[in-house]
Amino acid sequence: MSLLSPKTLASCRDLVWLSRHIAEGVMLGVQHSQRRGTGLAFHQYRGYQAGDSIRHIDWKLFARSDRYYVRETEQESRMHVCFVLDTSASLGQASFVESSLNKLHYAKCWIASLCWLLNAQGDSFSLLAINSQQTVHVPEGQGESHQRQIALQLQQLNACNHWPDQSQLAPLWQYFERPCQVILLSDFFEQENEISNFAAHLHAAGRPCLPLQLLIEAEQTFPFGGELKLLNPEANPNTPAALEVDAERQRQSYLDAFARAQSALKARFAAQECILQSDLIEQPVEKSLRQFIQRHGRLC
Amino acid sequence: MLWINAFFQSPQWLWLFAALAIPIAIHLLRRSNPQQIPFAALQWVQRYAQSRARQPVVDNKWLLLLRLLVVTLLALLLGQPLIKRNIYPQEAVVLVDPRIEAIDANAFIHRSLPQLAEADHKVLWLSPETTAVTSPPPQNIDLWKTLTLLSRRADLRRAYILLINNAFPASHRALRTSPHWQWHSLDKPATTKGPVLPRVAVMGKVPNWWAPVLEDWRGAMPELLVQTLEQEAALSAQETDWLVYAGPAPLPQTVMDFVADGGLLITDKSIQPPDHLDFVTVDQSYPVQAAPMGRGSWLRYGIDWHSAEFYQRAELPDYLWQQWSAQDWPLQHRNRGQWSGMNPMGIPVVDSAVGNRRAEQLQPWLIAALLMLLTLERLLALSRSPSRRAGETRHG
């Protein structure tokens, strides 16, 4: 099975299908045990909701009541994984290789695919997408329908505004009251370590945080030439909205500064016994997922 | 290639040098409007105190230099004729009247045109073929036609014209010359002749206005001869040009013979013409008619010239002189203009009307250099394009 190219990734808009395709690629060769789909013990019937698979509809009950009911079974969850996705404007940064692919789209595919994998092993998962303007939360759940709900929510997300400040973060802590494994997706382009501080707080509260940094290749190589006007999608008092640069003259200083910032960031996460994984969105999602799963063996 | 030369190679293309402003303008415009790229990692890009758009530093110096060179080369290529003319002045040419001996012509050039003797020059016969003066002189050259023909030749625009000093009667058709020609004559000019005057004779009882008119004429032309003929036998066309006849009708045979021999007869209405004569009205405002008779003509007034109606006019002498001399064709022929080498005539042919500019071959090395520069410019421009640089990152 060939890996997905950035162009295919960018052009496919059906996140459910895409994530399933990616996840099956990752799971290739893994033995599917009886844990596929539903559990063993009957729990309850509930009304059909958008996103539920029609395979879970109890057709006998439908014949009797003329209504759609979904049979829910009890399954013991081993783990709750909470995806925290940074949806600030900088996540809208497009790749210079494939201009229709941006970091947010890559993150959506990544989360949806991992949800498939988690679903396959019966884990529960939730989603928290945050920026300074909007917070999207999909509570903990499991099963295929939950994965579909998360995929639908992910599809509606847009990159805008900033990372939320302290006052905006305060009401979010309620989502972490139950023990969970947090996966934090961001570009970690921070002004005053606000994102890594958030991770540190979670770590201090006993909610281990696994960070995934999304970058584009141009941020690592600065391949520009000539005179350019660089526009900052996330303008703030410290960084200007636009900057005219002589790319060749400033390449080296940028590369040095960027490398320093990256090593500092890695050092901060290393201090919390978390390994920061930095991935280029030009790489296939499968590769990143495999590496992430291998690195954090306790996940899958 | 010839049509390319004729169409493209023209001094007007030197205006192309003004196109040098285009690459400079493009360069400055692009400097003030750099390409805009969204870049999230802007916080690690250093911020310089001075905006580069205000710095007097020229970016891409080599590219700008190449573009300026391309435009200059193109202008040079297309404007070659003018440059060549300025760099290499045309060879001096002396056109010699074929009636002059070649030895005399060379002697004249050495004596009167020493600046030519030092420089390289050609001596040609003044003929349509402009053969060299070493060849036998062409015979029976129509000078007027030849000069008109040569005035349109681009290579002879600044020629020296050496004429024998005979005066040439002006032609009724316009002579055309080049305004840059330098005229020379082999001999000293002769004294110019005054106008030829008619010889006037009067016969019969002249009207009263005749004496004052004659006096007026003599005031302006002292040499005017007027004789009064008593005998008809003394009249002859060789001796007399105009005959004012106021004698009795009908016309004597000697007067008829005089007109037939080429004289001009002037009468009033008292003389009845023969039936076969075909009179034409000369002046609508004045009842005067004329008819050809043999080689001469008869000017006949339709009124009595003794009457006040005839002579009560303010400008009678001038009027009569104009009327009579206008009718005398041989006199007009003798009085036509003269021109010579010292007194050239003719309508100048302006430079812009001269065709057949000297065709220059397009220089192959200039074309090759232009193509090479264009290729270099494209290579450099494409390799420095920011978008191209941004897209150079590898896939996967």
> Contact at 8 Å (CB) between A70 and A46?
yes
Indicate the residue of B35, B44, B385 with minimum beta-carbon distance to A229: B35
Dump pLDDT digits (tens) for B337-377: 667 666 667 778 877 777 555 555 667 888 888 888 888 88
Please check whether residues A88 and A145 belong to one and the same domain: yes
Q: Residue A187 and residue B384: Cβ atoms within 8 Å?
A: no
Percent of chain B with pLDDT over 70: 78
Instruction: Say whether both A118 and A228 belong to one domain.
Output: yes
Quick check: A267 contacting B, CB < 8 Å? no
Residues A212 and A261 grouped into a single domain: yes
Among residues B203, B152, B205, B140, which one has the least CA distance to residue B181? B152
The answer to whether residue B193 sits within a structural domain is no
**In a shared domain, residues A66 and A196:** no
Q: How many domains does chain B have?
A: 3
Q: What is the DSSP letter of B152?
A: T
Q: Is B141 a residue whose pLDDT tops 90?
A: no
**Residues A154 and A235 reside in one and the same domain:** yes
Of A224, A254, A261, nearest to B386 by CB-CB distance is A224
List of residues 6+ apart from B359 with CB closer than 8 A:
B2, B5, B6, B9
Write out the residues of chain B at the interface with chain A, using a CB-CB cutoff of 8 A. 30-31, 34-48, 51-53, 59-60, 384-386, 388-396
**Of A274-283, B84-93, B197-206, B207-216, the least confident:** B84-93
Tens of pLDDT, residue by residue, chain A (300 residues): 567 787 787 777 787 888 888 887 777 655 544 444 455 667 788 899 888 888 888 899 999 999 999 887 765 556 889 999 999 999 999 999 888 899 999 999 999 999 988 888 888 899 999 999 999 999 998 888 898 999 999 999 999 988 998 898 889 888 888 888 899 999 999 888 889 899 998 888 888 889 999 999 999 999 988 778 889 888 877 778 888 888 888 899 999 999 999 999 999 998 888 889 999 999 998 889 888 988 886 565
Residue B225, Cβ density class (10 Å: 0-12 exposed, 13-18 middle, ≥19 buried): middle
Q: pLDDT value at position A54?
A: 85
> With contact defined as beta carbons under 8 Å apart, do A234 and A103 qualify?
no
CA distance B343 to B170: 11
Same domain, B205 and B322: yes
Q: Which residues contact B74 (CB under 8 A, 6 or more apart)?
A: B16, B19, B370
By CA distance, what is A4's nearest residue in B?
A: B396
Domain boundary among A74, A97, A132: A74
Q: How far apart are CA B166 and CA B190, in angstroms?
A: 8
Q: Are residues B146 and B263 in the same domain?
A: no
The reply to whether B41 and B20 lie within a common domain is: yes
Is B72 part of a structural domain of the chain? yes
* Strand A242-246, strand B264-267: pairing: unpaired
Which pLDDT belongs to residue A242? 85
Record: contact A225-B35, CB cut-off 8 A: no
Q: Are residues A221 and A259 in the same domain?
A: yes
* pLDDT over threshold 50, residue B234: yes
Quote the pLDDT of residue B315: 83
Per-residue pLDDT at A35 = 46
CATH number at residue A193: 3.40.50.410
On whether both A65 and A82 belong to a single domain, the answer is: no
Say yes or no: A190 contacts chain B, CB-CB below 8 A: no
Are A222 and A294 in contact, with CB atoms under 8 Å apart?
no
pLDDT at A125: 92
Query: Does a structural domain hold residue A300?
Result: no
Domain CATH number, residue B325:
3.40.50
pLDDT (0 to 100) of residue B391 = 42
Residues A229 and A290 in one domain: yes
Q: Which pLDDT belongs to residue B146?
A: 87
A192 lies in some domain: yes
A37 within a domain of the structure (yes/no): no
**Domain around A53:** 42-74
**Model confidence at B4: pLDDT above 70:** no
Shared domain check, B82 and B43: yes
Per-residue burial over B96-115, b if 16 or more Cβ lie within 10 Å, else e, is: bbbebebeebeebbeeebee
Instruction: Check if A179 contacts B (Cβ < 8 Å).
Output: no
Q: What range defines the domain where residue B21 resides?
A: 2-87+363-390
The total number of structural domains in chain A stands at 2
pLDDT band at B104 (very low <50, low <70, confident <90, very high): confident
- Asked, for residue A46, whether it belongs to a domain, the answer is yes
Highest average pLDDT, of A86-100, B49-63, B104-118, comes from A86-100
Distances, alpha carbon A140 to alpha carbons A293, B91, B159, B257, in Å: 21, 102, 106, 145
B81, B97: one domain: no
Does B346 lie in the same domain as B329?
no
Domain contains B395? no
Residues A64 and A143 in one domain: no
How confident is the model at residue B396, as a pLDDT? 31
Query: Is a pLDDT exceeding 90 seen at residue B103?
Result: no
Backbone dihedral region for residue A216 (phi beyond 0: left; psi -120 to 50: alpha; all else: beta): beta
Quick one: B210 and B330 in the same domain?
Answer: yes
Bridge partner residues of B283 (DSSP): B288
Query: ipTM of this predicted complex?
Result: 0.78
Whether residues B159 and B218 share a domain: the answer is no
pLDDT at B91: 73
Pairwise CA distance, residues A103 & A114, whole Å: 16
User: Are A225 and B384 within 8 A, CB to CB?
Assistant: yes
Structural domain includes residue B205: yes
Q: Which of A95, A97, A214, A248 to mutate to test the interface with B (most CBs of B within 10 A)?
A: A97
Do B54 and B162 lie in one domain? The reply is no
| Residue B372, token pair as written in the block | 């090479």
pLDDT band at B170, cuts 50/70/90?
low
CB-neighbour burial class of residue A211 (10 A; exposed 0-12, middle 13-18, buried 19+)? buried
- Residue B1 clears pLDDT 60, i.e. is over it: no
